[in-house]
Amino acid sequence: MGTTQTRSENKYDDLVTKTGFSPEQIKNLHKRFQQLSENEETISKEHLHSIPALANNPIKKQIIDAFFDKRNQHQDEVGSFQEIGFEQFLMVLSHFRPPTLKMSEEDKARIRKEKLRFLFNMHDTDNDGTITLAEYRKVVEELLSKSGTMGIEAAKAIADAAMLGVASTNVPHMKPDEFYEGITFEHFEQILKGLEMETRMHIRFMDVNTTTMRCGKSTS
Amino acid sequence: MLSRSRPGKGVLEQALLLLVVVVLLQGSVLPLGAVSSPDISHQDRKDEHAVAIHSHNITKKPFPVLSVDYQNIQTPFEIALWVLLASLMKLGFHLIPRLSSIVPESCLLIVVGLLVGGFIRLAGEQVPPVLDSRLFFLCLLPPIILDAGYFLPIRPFMENVGTILMFAVVGTLWNAFFIGGLLYAVCQIQPSELNQLELLHCLLFGSIISAVDPVAVLAVFEEIHINELLHILVFGESLLNDAVTVVLYHLFEEFSGAGEVTVLDGFLGIISFLVVALGGVLVGAIYGILAAFTSRFTSHTRVIEPLFVFLYSYMAYLSSEMFHLSGIMALISCGAVMRPYVEANISHKSHTTIKYFLKMWSSVSETLIFIFLGVATVDGPHAWNWTFVTVTVILCLVARVIGVVGLTFVINKFRIVKLTTKDQFIVAYGGLRGAIAFSLCFLLKKEHFPKRELFLTAIITVIFFTVFVQGMTIKPLVELLAVKKKQEAKRSINEEIHTQFLDHLLTGIEDICGHYGHHHWKDKLNRFNKKYVKKCLIAGERSKEPQLIAFYHKMEMKQAIELVESGGGSKLPSANPSTISMQNIQPKKSAAAKPAERALPQLSKGREEEIRKILRGNLQRTRQRLRSYNRHTLVADPYEDGLNNLLLKKQKVIELEKKIKQMNTYLTVPAAPPDSPTMCRARLASDPQAYSVKSTSDDLPTIQVDLASPQSPDSVHLLDEFKKGEQKRQKEEEDQGLVMKAPTGVGDSDGSRDQQKLQRCLSDPGPKAEEEEEEDEPFLP
C-alpha cells in the first residue's frame, strides 16, 4: 500500500514537471480520466464521443481528434493514436493552462506559439504544414454545421473570404498567376495575433478535491 | 461692459469666432436676466423696436407693424440659446488646434461655464439656477447613459463582471465609510463650528462623494484611448455603483432625521441594495424585451423605428426612478438587452439614425452638464472652510488608492488575467467625480442639513480637482507609463471565425474535463437564446442566422457601402491594398479535370446570345436616380427585404460563375479602369426589382440569377445597386442608362457591343480576369 502510494506520487511528480499542472489538479483530472475510461488504463475515441454534453458541440469531432493526435504530444511524432493513456490526456490538456502573473515576454510568446500550434494542428488535418482552402472550408462548415442549409452555402463564401484575407495580409502582392498554396504557421500566427491567445485560450482547472464528482457535474 | 478675459489670437477666424461668441453671450445674458427683471430687457432693446413700444402708450395706436413679445417664447428660447452656446463652444474648441489635445474638453467647458456665470453676475443679473436636479436627472443624464448602455461592449463587460462588481459595490462602500468616518473624526478634533457636524451627515456626504461618475469618466477616457480592459473596468464601475449610491443616499437621508441607524436598518439597507440593483436591471430588461418585440413588426414603418428604441429606454429609466430603483442600471440593461435583437430587425438607416441621435444627444448633454457645473459654481451659495475641503480632497484620493489596491489584491486571486500595478494605477487615477455628486447634494434640504453649502463647496472642489488635475494629467501619464492602448483595427473575418472556434473548443474541453465552467454556461445561454428567444424577437429569416454568417453579411455590407461612398470604386478603401484575388486562392484545375467538375451543361452559342440579350436588357434599366425624400415614400427598402435572398443567390452566383469560368466561356467583357464613369454607371446597373420581376418571364431561370454574374465579384455591385436603387421609382424615366461607349465597361450590358468583340474577349480571359477579380477585394477583409 505504502509503496503504491509513493509510486503514484512519484508518477505525479513526473507529470507535474512535464505538464505544469499542480498535483491536486492532476489528481482531479486522473479521477475524471478514470471516470471516462470506466476504470481502464486507456480511453478510446468512443469513450469521449459518449460524453453527453459534447453532443451539441459543432466541432466535437475535431476536438476529440485533437486528443488522439500525436502532434500535440510535444514529441515530434505524427499520426494518431487509437487509444491514449493518462499521460497523453494530460499533455493535451496542458495546452489549456492559464497564464501566470509572473510571466516574461518570452514566456508569453512561447506559450502563445504553443497554443496557436495546437489550433493549427486542429485545422491542418493532413499534416502538410499548411491549411489549404479545402481544409479551411471544412473548418467553417463544421462551425456552421448546426445551422442547417443556410450554413452550408454560406460556409464556402465565408471560407473563401477568410482565405483571401489571410493571403492579402501576408502576401499582399501576388501576381495573378501565382497560387497561394495555403496558410502556413507563420501566416496563421500573423492573422491571429490580435486575439492574444495566451490570455484567451485557457480553462480553469480545479485545484480543490472534488470527491463527489458525478458524470461531469462538479459540486465545487 | 463685458470684459474679455480670453486672450485674442491674431488669426482672423478665431477672432471672428470669439466675436460671435461674445455677441451670443451678450444675447444670452440679457434674456437670462429677463427672468428677474422684465423691464430692463425692454429698455435694452434696440431702437427699431422703440417705435413699437412707444406705440403702446398712445391711446389710439396704429396697427403695430412690429412688436416684441418676449414672454411668449421665453423658456424655449432660453433653452435653445443654452444648447446653441454649448454647441458653439464645442465647435470653437476644435478650431483652436493645440488646445483640445492638451486640455480635455470637460475642463474647457467648465471654464466656459464659469465665464458665463461670471458675465451674468457682472451684468448684475441673478444667475439662473440651471443645474436644477430635476432637469439634470430627467433630461441631461439619460441620453448619456443610454448611449453608453446601448453601445456597451458586452463581451468584455461580461468577462470582467466580477471584477467590476467588486470595484463598484465594495469599493464604493469602502470609500463612503472611510471618507465619512474620517471626516467626522477630523471635524470632531477641530475646534470650530465643524464640531456640530453629525456622524450621519458625514456619512451621507461620504456616500455622495464616493461614487465615480460615468459622465466625467466617459468625457476623459474617450480621449485617451486606453485598452479595452481598463476602459471597461473603470467605466463599468462608474455605471454599476449607481445602485450603491442610491441606497446609501436614501438610507442616510432617511435616518439622519432620526439620528441613528440600527443594525436592523443596516440589514434592511443590504436588502434594499439588492432590490434596487436587481430591480433596476429587471425593469430595464423587461422594457428591452418589449422594444425588441416591437421592432419585430416595424418592417413597414421604418421611419419610426429609432423612436421605439428611445422611448422604451426612457420609459425604463422613468419607471425605475419612480420606484427609487437604480435608473442607470435600468437604462444599461435595457440598451444591452434590446440591442442584438433590434439590430437584427431594423433597417440599416434606422441603425445609423439611432447611432447618430444617441451620439448627438449625449454629446450635447455632456456639454451642457459641464457648462452648468461652471455656472452653478459661480452661483453658489458657498461656505468655504479650509480644513473641511482640503481634508475631503485628500481623503478622496487616499481612499481611492487604498480601495483599488486592496481590492485588486483580493480580485487577483480569482482572475486568470491578473491586474498589474500599472492597471491598478490607471483604475485608481481614473476615479473621477462629476455632476451626479453635485446634483445629489443639491437635492438635500437645507432644513435637515444645515451644512449643505459646505458640502456643496467641498463637492465642487473635489470635482474641479479630479476633472482638472486628474483629467489633464491622465493622458501624459498614460503615455509615460506606456499603458497598452486600444486596438484600432477592425475585427476581421478570420478573427471572428477563430473566436467562435475557440469558444466551442473551450466549451468542449471543459465538458471533457468534467467541470461546468464559465464557457459551459455561456454556451448554454447561447443555445437557449438561439432556440427560444431569437425566434420570438427577431423577424423572419434572420432569427435563424448564426452569428458567423450575420457577421459576414454585416462586414460585406459595410465594405460595399464604403465602396459606394468612396465614389463607386474610384478609391478602394482597403487597408492593405493588395492584388490578391480569388484566382490566387482557387486551386488551379487542369484541363483534364474540367469535364468531371462541370456542374452546368455547356452553354451553346445560342444560349450565350440569349444571355447577353437578357443582361443587356436588364442593365439598361435603372441607374442612379435622383432621390427625393418624402417621409411617405421612404418605404421599406427593397434591398433590405431582399438582402438575404440576394446574398444567398449571390453565393450561388459565385459558384456558377466559377464553373462558367472553368468552361472558358466568358459572358463578361474586360473591366474598365476603376474610375471611368461608365464603370460607375455599370455598377449601378441592375435593379433589384429586376430580379423578382424578371424571374417569371424568363426561360432561363439559372441565368436570371446570374444577372449579377457578369460583374462577377458582385456582392459589391449588388449591394451597391441596392443602395442606389432603393426608391421604387418609375423605371420609365430611363435615360441612356448605360451609355457605355468606351471599350471597357463591366457587364456585358452594352448594346452597341458586337458579337465579335465579345468573342474576342471570350477567348482572352487573361489579365482582365484578374482585374475583374480584383473587385472581389474590397469587401473582403
Instruction: Tell me which chain A residue has its CA closest to the CA of residue B495.
Output: A192
User: What sign does the CA torsion over A189, A193, A198, A200 have?
Assistant: negative
B218 versus B54: the higher-pLDDT residue is: B218
Lowest mean pLDDT among A110-114, B191-195, B372-376: B191-195
pLDDT in tens, B465-517: 998 999 888 888 888 888 777 776 677 788 888 888 888 888 888 888 877 77
CB-CB: which of A101, A140, A172 is closest to B418?
A: A101
Which range has highest mean pLDDT (A124-128, B428-432, B744-748)?
Answer: B428-432
In this structure, the number of other CB atoms found within 10 A of the CB of residue B402 comes to 14
Contact across the interface for B497 and A93, Cβ inside 8 Å: no
Residues 517-536 of B with CB under 8 A from A: 517-520, 523, 527
Contact across the interface for B497 and A140, Cβ inside 8 Å: yes
Q: How confident is the model at residue B406 (pLDDT cuts 50, 70, 90)?
A: very high
pLDDT given for residue B281 in this prediction: 93
Asked if B671 and B772 touch (Cβ cutoff 8 Å), the reply is: yes
Rg (CA), chain B: 33
pLDDT given for residue B402 in this prediction: 93
- Residue whose C-alpha is closest to residue B503's, from A120, A203, A91: A203
A116 versus A147: the higher-pLDDT residue is: A116
Asked if A181 and A124 touch (Cβ cutoff 8 Å), the reply is: no
Asked if B277 and B326 touch (Cβ cutoff 8 Å), the reply is: yes
Q: Is the pLDDT of residue A41 over 50?
A: yes
Backbone angles phi, psi at A161, to 5 degrees: -60, -40
pLDDT in tens, B53-94: 554 555 777 888 888 888 888 888 988 988 898 889 888 888
pLDDT given for residue A9 in this prediction: 60
- Residue whose C-alpha is closest to residue B685's, from B752, B731, B743: B731
Nearest 5°: the CA angle B132, B18, B112 is: 25
Percent of chain B with pLDDT over 70: 63
pLDDT given for residue A117 in this prediction: 86
Burial pattern B29-65, b for ≥16 Cβ within 10 A else e, equals bbbbbbeeeeeebeeeeeeeeeeeeeeeeeeeeeeee
CB-CB: which of A154, A168, A191 is closest to B578?
A: A168
Model ipTM value: 0.88
B415–chain A nearest CA distance, Å: 10
Q: Which residues of A touch B546 (CB under 8 A)?
A: 144, 146-147, 150-151
Which range has highest mean pLDDT (B381-385, B404-408, B580-584, B587-591)?
Answer: B404-408
pLDDT given for residue B644 in this prediction: 53
Instruction: Tell me which chain A residue has its CA closest to the CA of residue B781.
Output: A165
Q: Which residues of B touch A174 (CB under 8 A)?
A: 578-580, 584
pLDDT in tens, B242-266: 888 888 888 888 777 676 667 888 8
pLDDT in tens, A205-220: 777 654 444 444 433 3
Q: Which residues of A touch B489 (CB under 8 A)?
A: 194
Q: How many CA atoms lie within 13 A of A87 on its CB side?
A: 13
Q: Which helix (H) or strand (E) holds A131?
A: strand A130-131
- Residue B505 in contact with partner chain A when CB distance is under 8 A: yes
pLDDT in tens, B568-622: 544 444 444 555 566 666 654 433 333 433 444 445 555 656 666 665 655 554 4
Q: Is the pLDDT of residue B708 over 70?
A: no
pLDDT given for residue B645 in this prediction: 58
- Residue whose C-alpha is closest to residue B331's, from B155, B533, B148: B148
pLDDT given for residue A195 in this prediction: 79
Instruction: Tell me which chain B residue has its CA closest to the CA of residue A25.
Output: B513
| CA distance between the termini of chain B | 60
Cα separation of B139 and B130, whole Å?
12
Contact across the interface for B578 and A154, Cβ inside 8 Å: no
- Residue B228 in contact with partner chain A when CB distance is under 8 A: no
Asked if A169 and A119 touch (Cβ cutoff 8 Å), the reply is: no
- Residue whose C-alpha is closest to residue B160's, from B242, B212, B228, B245: B228
Residues 398-417 of B with CB under 8 A from A: 412, 416-417
pLDDT given for residue B700 in this prediction: 40
The residue to which cell 464556402 is assigned: A156
Q: Which residues of B touch A122 (CB under 8 A)?
A: 505
Q: Which helix (H) or strand (E) holds B409?
A: helix B386-411
Q: How confident is the model at residue B647 (pLDDT cuts 50, 70, 90)?
A: low
Question: Which of A25, A27, A160 to mutate to test binding with chain B, by most B CBs within 10 Å of its CB?
Answer: A160
The stretch B450-469 carries a mean pLDDT of 88
B318 versus B12: the higher-pLDDT residue is: B318
A128 versus B751: the higher-pLDDT residue is: A128
What is the overall mean pLDDT for chain B? Answer: 72
Asked if A155 and A138 touch (Cβ cutoff 8 Å), the reply is: no
Nearest 5°: the CA angle B334, B233, A100 is: 130
Percent of chain B with pLDDT over 90: 13
Q: Which value, to the nearest 10 degrees, does the dihedral of the CA atoms of residues B114, B115, B118, B119 take?
A: -150
Alpha helix locations (H) across B136-227?
A: 141-150, 154-159, 161-165, 172-189, 199-210, 214-224
The stretch B449-457 carries a mean pLDDT of 85
pLDDT given for residue B769 in this prediction: 40
Residue B79 C-alpha from the chain's centroid: 25
Q: Is the pLDDT of residue B14 over 80?
A: no
Q: Which helix (H) or strand (E) holds B31?
A: helix B12-33
Q: How confident is the model at residue B318 (pLDDT cuts 50, 70, 90)?
A: very high
Cα separation of B100 and B108, whole Å?
9
Domains in chain A, ordered, with CATH?
12-98+202-220 (1.10.238.10), 100-198 (1.10.238.10)
Which range has highest mean pLDDT (B273-282, B701-710, B734-743)?
Answer: B273-282
Q: How many CA atoms lie within 13 A of B220 on its CB side?
A: 30
- pTM reported for the whole predicted model: 0.70
Cα separation of B323 and B342, whole Å?
27
The residue to which cell 441631461 is assigned: B140
Q: Is the pLDDT of residue B682 over 60?
A: no
Question: Which of B155, B509, B519 to mutate to test binding with chain A, by most A CBs within 10 Å of its CB?
Answer: B509
Q: How many residue pairs from chains A and B have C-beta atoms closer than 8 A?
A: 210
Write out the three cell numbers for B561: 457601402
The stretch B181-200 carries a mean pLDDT of 79
B705–chain A nearest CA distance, Å: 16
